[in-house]
Every structure is written in structure tokens, then in C-alpha cells.
Structure 1
């Protein structure tokens, strides 16, 4: 695959990822803090970071990397989800969309990222200071330190196991002191067979907190945490089920890697130009079939008793059915769920409602309806215009609704409208 083809795949994937990112941030704002939503946003940012890094677009890589730092703190319960966080995530989304458009038009990103990166780091720094004060307070309360044996299993789909093992190691250092690791990560050269690691950690955190924090790391499939007993070291041993058995580890918390084991590769991306070319070829086949049918009719008139003419008619009928099915299949490949269009509306409604100081609840139905790609593109702008007008002119502000509940104010407003109509 050459650079041009890779660019097309990257832009198409980035478009889908950014749209998913927008929907998940909206869900976060509407539904509140949810581990699943946070994990979804983290996955999207991580995927976009990887693809942009592979293509050499450092600006997108840097922004998504800083987003990951914020999201990691949120999912480890070291940062609350506030309106400031949501607004900043939306700013990141807008910045990423702008970078994608520049890459699409110019071949590179030219907008600076210093401002958005600075805001993300300031937010992270403020949270880190709060976390440090909390840790100091916990120490003041003389929380007991305990040793835990943390066994971590990575997903078999993890491509860089050794770097991931170091990430787990560094993450545990935030909770306390990592006494040892097995195997010794510094002695590992090839990470091909590195899938299970054991860390001995001394901390005042409990086992549930450690297990939850580790299980939320990327590519972590399962986690076991057990106390280390000085008298009975064997009490700390944990083991995974033997290969081929259906048993699961005791109370495992499946990490992100487990969800990625589902079957993949069921869809492929196809350029619309290729579909248009296929449709044109099908049209040519329809024309040729019509001509064959006409020739068959002429031959039937001339050689009514010839078996060859009968064979030609049977072939023509079969050819007609095959062409019809082919034409229907090609047309279906151009069909897209209208959800692709509807997904643009929630963010637009959210921003417009905040600008106009109005309370708006958007309800979308029939998102599974399929339309031709061209039709979706044609109706996009008119639908956006209708929704904007409905919010701008069809929904009153909260204060106006309250005023209408007051008879005196309502009469005053009605009189003003009458005077305005007479003046017109």
C-alpha cells in the first residue's frame, strides 16, 4: 500500500473515530461519570494516537496523548468529571477535527497545539496537587502498609508486551513501592513470550483498589491481587486456569484486551468511486442483456423449433436474474444508515442550546433507516438548517416561559405584540 492509499485509510478511520469520540463525550456529559464511557473515550483516543503516530502527524499524536493522561486519572478515580473537563474534551475534539481537515486539504497539519496542550497539562497538574494532598492526609491517619502480590496477564493481541509491562510497573509505583517483579523486566530482551507478570507492591491501598486500577489499563486481560504473608509465602500464590479449560481466575476483572477478542475483519472500506464504476458496469450489462433478449426473440420467430433457441432463452432468463441480484447488491453497498447523519446533530444542538441559554432535549428516531450515500449528503444541510431554526425560533428561553406564567407580564407582552403588528 503506497502513501496515498494509506492516507485515504487514515482519514476515513479518523473521521469515524472523531464521530465516535463526539458521541461518547456527549454521553459523558449527559449520563455523568461512567467507567464504560471513560474507557470508550480512552480507547478512541489511544487508537487515534497510534494511527496518527504511524502516519507521522505529531500534532494529533500529542493532543491525544495528553487526553489519555486526563482520562487515565479519571478512570483511576483521581480526577472527577466536571463541566470543565467535559468542555476541555470538546475543545480537544474540535482541535482534532481541525487538524484532520488540514491534513485532508494540505497534506499536513499547520495549526498550533500549544494552547490546548497547555490547558490539558494545567488541568492534570491541578489534579496531581490535589492527589498529593490526599496522599499526605492518608499518611497522617497512619494507614497500615501491606504487601500485595499482583499478577497481571496481558492480552495475546498486545503487540508490545514489554513496554506494556513497564507501564504496569510505573502505574503501581504511583500506589506505593514496587519491591520486585517477576520476571525481572530489565533482563527481558524479547517480549514475545512475556504475557504474565508478578509484582510485589507495598502500599496502604486495599486489594480491590489495586485490582480495579490495574484492570483498567490498556491490554490488561486479567488481574489477581493476593496478600503476601511472611509466615506463609505460599498464601500469596495465584494461578490462571489451565489452557483449554472453561474456568476463570478467582474474581478476575476483565480488562480492555478481553473485549477485543471478538471476531474482526467483517467489513472493509471501499472508495465510493469504485462503487460508482461497478454501478456503471452493471448498467452496461443491463443494456447488453436487453439486446440479447431482442436477438432471442428474432431467432424464435425464424427458428421456432430449434433447440438452440430454447437454450438461448433459458440462458437469457438466468442472465437476467443474475444481473438483477448484482444490481441490487451494488446498490446496497451504497446504502448507509441515516445514523451517520443524525450523529452530527447532538453536538450541534448542545452547543446552540448553551449559546441561546435554552433547555433542549433532542430525541432521534429511525436511525437504522438506510439511504443512498448521495441522498444523505444532499439532505444534510437542509436538516441542519431546520433544527437550528427550530431551536432558535421554536423554543422560548426559560425566563420567557416564566414570564408567560405571570398574567400581568403576559398581558404586557401581548400588548407589545399588538402594537408591533399595528406598526407593521
Structure 2
């Protein structure tokens, strides 16, 4: 039986069942007595086991079989759920997800699941309760890694003999740090700029996957002094301590002997544990963080009235339709010139049909944001537990739809913003009680439509952003000057959090972590044609609001003419159009301004900006204007003539025309002409 043809179906259905199990486990954690939820989880595990066995993925099948055994006891009232069992099943789900990801990446789906299988077996037999006080998890029985092998030792020895300085560096990261891997990467990056890392313990791969406690060690070659090395690494935010030990031949030899002794002891300990055949043991559970409220779900039932379509096919369909749209506009233009009633009727009918077709094609590409949101309840639950906080995640508007291309890109920025909300926004339980707030913090994740945009808001009821600390940090980093700092509004101060490198400000400052990845978040959202705003009240909480376009391929635009050239301005950025007299234009410090609804806004000359030689507004007594908006800022663009509103197909300018100012792409008009699409956001500074 040829399995490859069924692999994509297996992967899609495995992901659905794993997601359903994760969501139902969160619901069960909130209602441990609800046997109906257990039944749903059991059905998903049973289906996944059958699929895995059929496809030949034995490790997946054996792990889901052990999960089934535990769930079977629970649903038959022979076993009551407790924190240890919850943690064991969540760990099992993590292992299953890792194995499915391995299969997606072309692997075999094999993994060492013996430790978690032993844990599940001990739950079924009841041994975990008897041995709960005797020690740690079986995962801890993995052999300790020998710090140095012979080859690495010889490299370090030769480096010493050739005059290089060899260091043994121990780095500890603060326990409150959430992004340990990111901090470790910053340490490794700094070290590699000033020397060469010979060996790290744990390995770089484990550190990248956050498979380490709060410390790691490296053997390092560098010309820097011990003091300079400790100072540079210590300046990285959330690094608790750095101890650099300069090695000579004797101390290096001693380290090698210690490494060999560690390896021997670890091997002996592993053999002893194996011989005792010890079942998995329980770890005393911490007080549970309140389980986030998951988005409503139907328990993972796979709908039968749907078919799976490769996203590339939809892209091809979109491109073909966009060509059809260009021809439709051309036909409408020809029909208006020829004046034949039968041709006009046919073109009008074609326009109606293609308009309906356009709606269908766009809807095919639309995906509910629930596809992104559904992984957040589990993430927030784990994060709150690791930080010893109580957090409720309340999701609303998960059915709101967005273009598939936007959905694929928006996940990582939202992860950053949610981590920030839980880690830096919501206070610890003692802090919340002291502030007179409920023990459990609330993080609201909302999505809703507004015009041609989708808004996603992340709001928490935490301590808010400390304006003075943000400003002090920005001044220290040189992001703003003292003169600028005096005139900044609250909103402008909060926007400084998005400045590149803001997070590396000062390890003592509790706002430094607010900048982790926020510059990356802003860049990613703006690359999708959206923008992000911050609103915060000290003591009351912070709200991040992300505005995104509904789709990136077909947009409504106003076509304008400048002499011989045509341009398109997206309707979503236009406030209104008007005609103004030349005498109404004011000059303020050499800049053109105009009176607009009781205030003054800048007046920009597009013809001078784009160097259009065939038109100059200086020769006219009155000029048409388009008022554009970016956030709460307005500006007016002077144009020669309005052509009209049109649905246009957004085309990129290719890889040769990059970094063009105020141009976001181009479109082909009905007469075959190319019109550049103006980016209003770039025109408003």
C-alpha cells in the first residue's frame, strides 16, 4: 500500500485532533468533573492512534495508546484528574506535536518517548502516588553530557600554546526571564563577535529549544580581558550573573578530568536506575494558574462538507482572476466608446458576474483568525504557570476572517504581544492583592472588522507602562534627545518601545523587557500594510491595537491624473476630496498648509515629489486635493484631475525596483497603462 499519497491527509487530520485535544484539556482543567470533555479527548486520541498505526508511525501510536489508557480510567470514574495527570497529558501532547512536526519536515516521526510512556503507565498502575516523594521525573534520568571530549580538549590546549586566551564562562539568566533562548542567542552573538566558542553545555541546539535550566557554560577563545568579557555579557538584559575563569594548561587539564568523572558517574547512575525499573514519579505541583478560557470549539469534529485545497492553487486562481479584472475594465472602456447597445448589455452582465466571482475568490482566501488564536490559550496557560501568575485569556471575535496570506504572517507578532502582556503587564498575585485587584489577571484578545480593515486588540488589566522609566531608558540609549523628551506626548513615549534595540537598555530597568521583539512586531505588521498602536493607563493596564488590511491582492482605489501620468490612492486612506483656491493656500516656515475643518494640515505636491514634468499646480488658480489619513494625522495631496473610483489589482514592482519612496506597487489599467499605487502612510511623517 503506497502511503505517501495519504501523508498530507494524515498531517492535516493529526493537527486538527491535536488542536482539539489541547483545547479540550484546557476546558477540562477548568471543569475536572466534566466526563463529556474526557470522552471528546479520548475519541481524538483513539482516532490519532489508529491513523498513526496505519501509517506506520509506531512511536506516535504507542504514546497515544498509553494516553488512551489513562483517559479510559478517568471516563469510567476509576481515576480522578489532578495536577500531575494534567501535566503528564500536556507533556504527552507536546511530544506528539513534536513528532508530527518531524514528519512534516520529512522525518520518520520517531522519538524517545520512554520517559513519558513510563509516567503514563505509572498513573494507570497508581505507582506514581506511592513514589511521588522519592524523586524527580524520569526525564531527569537522561545522562549528563560530558563537558569536553578529547578533540575539543586538544583544540583548547593548542590555542593556549599558540598564545590565545582560553576562558570557561558560566552564564546565569534571571528566573523571571521568559525568552531564555533569545537571551542566550544574544550572549552567543556577542561572544562570536569577539572570539570563538569551542564548546557549550548544554548544546546550542538544546539552548535554542529552551531545553536547559537558567544557566549554561561555554569554553571560549578570545583576546578580551576577563573583566571586559564579564562586563559586556553582564550588560545584556535579564542576565543575572557572568563568571569568566581564565584557564591555563593545569586548570584546563583539571576541567577535562572533572568532565570525564561526571560522564562516568552519570553512566553509572543511569545503569542503576535502569536496573531498579523505577516507574515515573510525581513532582509536587505548584498552585495552579487559572486556566485561560479557550475559544468555543466543537471538540475537533472534522466537517464532511469541506475539501482541502492547496494554497498555491488559490494563488493561481487569484492571479488568473486579476487578469480577468484588467480585461473587464478594458471592455467597459471600449463599450463606452463604440456605443452599441448589445455590446454594452453584454459587458454590463459580464461586470456583474465577475463582481460576484471576485467576492467568491476573495472569500475562498479568507480564513477565520481562530486558526491563529486557537494555539494561544495553551501558551498563556503554560506561561502563567511558569511565572506563578493567575491569568484568564478571554477571546472574542475568533470568527472574524482575514486573507490567508495575512493569517500566515500575523501569528508570531501576536505571540510576542501576548507574552509581553502576561510577563510584563499582569502583576503577580501578591502585587495584585496589594493594588486592590482580583488575584486573577485578565488578558482580552479581540478581533473585529471595521471598514476594509481588521483590528486585533490585546488588552490586559495589569500595572500599565511606566512613562518616566520608558523615557529615562530611551534617553539613556540615545533614542531621543533631552529637548525632544520634553515635548513628547504619552502616546509618543509609548511608541518608543518599538525602537530597535530598546530592550537592551538596562538590565535593572523593569521596562527593558517591554522591548523584546517589539521592533520586530512593528516591522512585520507594517510589511503587511497595517500598523500598531499602544494605549496605557498606569495601574489600569495596557492595550495594543493592531490594524490590518482585509486582503493584500485586490483593493478599492481612487484613480487620479497628473499631466500624462496616472496614479492610484487606496480608498482606505482617503478622508475626502475637494477643490481649493490658490489664495487659500498658506505658507508656514516655507511649507504649504491649508485650513481644514478648523485646523491646519500640510499640503503636499505629488507632481514635485514624483518629478512629473507634464504638470505643475503653480500654473493653476484652483487645484483638486485628496485628504489622506494615517492614524490621527492628516495631510492633503494636490492632484491635476480625478478619474474615478476603481477596483484595482495590486502588483509588486519586482525585485529590481525596491525601496521606492511612497510607492507600494503598481496596477494595470483597462487601457493597458501602468499606474503606480501611492503609499499614503509614507507621505505622512
TM-score by length of 2: 0.37
Residue 21 of structure 1: aligned partner: 21
Q: CA deviation at 1:2?
A: 6.7
TM superposition shift of 1:16: 1.4
Pick from 318, 322, 343 the counterpart of residue 279 of structure 1.
Answer: 318
Match of 2:119 in 1: 119
CA pair 263-58 structure 1, distance change in 2 beyond 3 A: closer
Which residue among 392, 396, 400 is the counterpart of 2:423? 392
Question: Partners of 1:291 and 1:374 in 2: how far apart?
Answer: 29
Answer 1 or 2: which has greater helix percent. 1
Name the CA distance, whole Å, in 2 between partners of 1:33 and 1:310.
Answer: 72
Shift of 1:363: 1.1
Aligned pairs (5 A) from 1:3-402: 3-126=3-126, 265-300=304-339, 309-402=340-433
In the TM superposition, what is the alpha-carbon distance from 1:351 to its structure 2 partner? 0.8
Contact 2:24–2:41 under 8 Å retained in 1: yes
Q: CA deviation at 1:42?
A: 0.5
List per-residue Cα deviations over 1:388-412 (Å, max 9, x = no partner): 111111122123345567xxxxxxx
Q: CA deviation at 1:294?
A: 3.1
Distance of 2:418 and 2:303 partners within structure 1: 37
- Whole-Å separation in 2 of the counterparts to 1:283 and 1:90: 46
Residues 288/59 of structure 1: CA separation in 2 closer, same or farther (3 Å cut) = same
Q: Name the SS for the 2:393 alignment partner.
A: coil
Between the aligned partners of 1:77 and 1:127, the Cα distance in structure 2 is 18
Contact 1:79 1:127 in 2 (8 A): no
Q: CA deviation at 1:329?
A: 0.7
Q: Is the 8 A contact 2:60 2:96 kept in 1?
A: yes
Secondary structure of the residue aligned to 1:363 is strand
- Post-superposition CA distance 1:197-239 (Å, at most 9, x none): xxxxxxxxxxxxxxxxxxxxxxxxxxxxxxxxxxxxxxxxxxx
Is residue 122–residue 128 contact of structure 2 (8 Å, CA) maintained in 1?
Answer: no
- Measure, in 2, the Cα distance between the counterparts of 1:118 and 1:58: 16
Structure 1 residue 346: Cα displacement: 0.9
> How far apart are 1:332 and its partner, in Å?
0.8
Aligned partner of residue 93 in structure 2, secondary structure: helix
Alpha-carbon shift at residue 95 of structure 1 (Å): 0.3
| Residues 377 and 112 of structure 1, relative CA distance in 2, 3 Å threshold | same
Asked whether the equivalents of residues 92 and 116 of structure 2 are also in contact (C-alpha less than 8 Å), the reply is: yes
Q: Is the 8 A contact 1:38 1:74 kept in 2?
A: yes
**Residue 385 (structure 1) shift:** 1.1
RMSD: 3.0
Q: What CA deviation, in whole Å up to 9, does each residue of 1:283-318 have, x standing for no partner? A: 121122223333333432xxxxxxxx3222222111
Q: Which is further off, 285-294 or 56-65?
A: 285-294
Distance 1:327 1:122 in 2: 58
Cα offset for 1:263?
Answer: 11
TM-score of the superposition, structure 1-length normalised? 0.59
Q: Whole-Å Cα distance in 1 between the matches of residues 315 and 35 of structure 2?
A: 43
Aligned counterparts of 2:302 and 2:47: Cα–Cα separation in 1 = 18
In 2, Cα distance between equivalents of 1:60 and 1:78: 25
Cα distance in structure 1, aligned partners of 2:358 and 2:54: 38
Q: Is the 8 A contact 2:11 2:104 kept in 1?
A: yes
Q: Deviations over 1:36-82 (max 9, x none)?
A: 10000001111111222222211111111111111111111111111
The answer to which structure has the higher strand fraction is 2
Q: Equivalent residue of 2:328, what SS?
A: helix
Shift of 1:264: 5.8
Structure 1 equivalent of residue 198 of structure 2: none
Separation of aligned partners in 2, 1:263 and 1:347: 21
Contact kept in structure 1, 2:57 and 2:110, CA below 8 Å: no
Cα-to-partner distance string for 1:325-359 (whole Å, 9 max, x where unaligned)? 11111111111211222211111111111111111
Distance 2:38 2:127 in 1: 17
| Uncovered stretches (5+) of structure 1, i.e. residues with no partner | 131-258, 301-308, 406-416
- The offset of 1:377, in angstroms, is 2.4
Query: What is the number of equivalent residue pairs in this alignment?
Result: 273
Structure 2 CA distance for aligned equivalents of residues 106 and 22 of structure 1: 24
**C-alpha distance in structure 2 between counterparts of 1:284 and 1:2, whole Å:** 39
| Displacement of 1:127 | 7.3
Report if the CA contact (8 A) 1:39-1:75 is conserved: yes
**Contact kept in structure 1, 2:325 and 2:354, CA below 8 Å:** yes
Q: Deviations over 1:59-112 (max 9, x none)?
A: 111111111111111111111111111111101110000001100002411321
